[in-house]
Structure 1
Amino acid sequence: MIHQEPDPLSIPSSPPTQPRLVIASQNPGKLREFQTYLADLAWDICLMPADLDIPETEPTFLGNACLKATVVAQATGDWAIADDSGLEVVALAGAPGIYSARYGQTDPERIQRLLDELGEELNRQAWFTCALALARPDGQIALTEIGRCAGEILSAPRGENGFGYDPIFYVPSQAQTFAEMSAETKRQISHRGVALAGMLPKLKQILSKAELL
């Protein structure tokens, strides 16, 4: 039998490997959000490996965002982006702050604890803060951004949308809680939306240059 070498022209070429941007999270909602914002870039945007555990040991939102981005970038060898967010209440000296997600086991527990601690306090001022950090594949931080949304803490939950403290976080300019807003409205005015909007032009510029390397 005569062995015939395949025609090189008939062998489908492998598509070039897309550069990857890893989200330092296991939250599919965050993945969809970044995929939407960066849809015009030829990047594979994915969640971090499920077995990667990152203790949030820094005392600030920005510190934790940088820590997570660095750990994920070094573990994967890819660009990585991370956020750290939370609620800060004036009358509680900024609490729950970086402990927002650890204020209870469930969202209702966290909300109830916050309302119990506020009690009849008249000053209900609060704000959500989001810190974003982008790390290069070697773990060096390339870009950071902080976004905030000011509001007030209601005495009882309102609305069915969102998650976390959304039902008690009231935004006077919208006359709604986060949980009463449409997803589009919340995306535009929320702390994460503000941070992403501020970072996006610089983020796209950096990733576009990295894509050419």
Structure 2
Amino acid sequence: MSEPSRPPAAGAARVPVAGEEGAPAACHGYVGLTFDDGPSRHTAALLEALHEAGLRATMFNQGNHVDADPGLVRAQADAGMWIGNHSYSHPRLTGLGPAERESEIARTQDAVAAAGGGIPTLFRPPYGETDETVRATAAKFGLTEILWDVDPQDWNGASADAVVEAVGRLTDGQVVLLHDWPATTLRAVPRIAEVLEANGLRPGMICPVTGRAVAPDGV
């Protein structure tokens, strides 16, 4: 049974309700913020920026980077991020044989779990290159392949302005491709929060059934 609501304590700040000045914007849907290629030396700063902006995201980690610094995976999990599989060494999986392809995915599942990041249910193929064999291999490990709807090209030198503008094109359920390491993306994080709020969107989890962004667990 849920606990009955209680009046606010004396002196407690009153939270504005919808329609009042200072109230949060109405929620018109959820989007998936995703960051590839981590964890890295930039991860701590990225997590701090996301925390300060009130954002949660899905981190598609490389297994070799996880093994190099497993503590960063625990930091991602402790910060409330969702953790996905981005292969072990970032190869073009469509060009690998079955055993190599399976090893890339399996080693990353093991690395993330050993680092305290849970067992991933989402998989993003490097470069977005995929086919039926890649999807079938991922499915063997209970993974749903996740690509993206919007690519701001932060990996290709896009400015912070360009990253924010691209995020502003997201609609309910869509997913944006970002990366763990670009300085421009880090600088864009506070403004990403602002543009999502202005559009009535909130960061959500990616559903492993549909591959679309939905409300976070418990919300």
TM-score, normalising length: structure 1: 0.29
Higher RCO, 1 vs 2 (CA within 8 Å, ≥6 residues apart)? 2
Q: Which has the higher strand share?
A: 1
TM-score, normalising length: structure 2: 0.28
For the pair shown, the structure with the greater C-alpha radius of gyration is 1
